[in-house]
Amino acid sequence: GGQRQCVAIARTATFASKLIIMDEPTAALGVQETAQVENIIRTLKDNGEPLILISHNMRQVFDLCDRIVVFRRGRIVANLRKENTDGQDIVSYITGAKTGEAELAA
C-alpha cells in the first residue's frame, strides 16, 4: 500500500513532470504509510514542485496545501489561500451552505 504510493510519487517526480496530480494519495493507507507519503509530498512542495492534491481529509489539506479550491457539481465554488479560511468555511462550501460567486482571495 504505502510503499507502492511512495514509489509511484518518487517515480513521477524523477521524470521532471511539469505538474504532479495526486488523487487521494493516502486513501486506504495506515498511519505510518500516510505519514511517509505526506513527508514525500512536503519534500516535493519544499523543492518547488507544482502539485495538485485532491483530498477529502481536511487535516491533510490544511497541512500540505497553500491554496484550497473547492468544486461542487463540477464547478469551482471557492478558491482560497489556506491562511484566509478554516475547516468550517471549506465544509460549508463543499456542502453548499455558502452560496454565491467563487471567492477569490489572492
Average pLDDT over residues 55-73: 94
User: At 53, which amino acid appears?
Assistant: L
* Enclosing H/E stretch for 64: helix 58-64
Instruction: Indicate the pTM of the whole model.
Output: 0.75
Retrieve residue 32's grid coordinates: 505510518
In the chain, what are the domain boundaries? 1-65, 67-106
Residue 4 has pLDDT above 80, yes or no: no
Confidence class for position 101, pLDDT limits 50, 70, 90: very low
User: CA gyration radius for the chain?
Assistant: 15
Retrieve residue 46's grid coordinates: 519544499
pLDDT digits (tens, 9 = 90+) for 19-52: 888 999 998 888 998 999 999 999 999 999 899 9
The superfamily (CATH) of domain 1-65 is P-loop containing nucleotide triphosphate hydrolases (3.40.50.300)
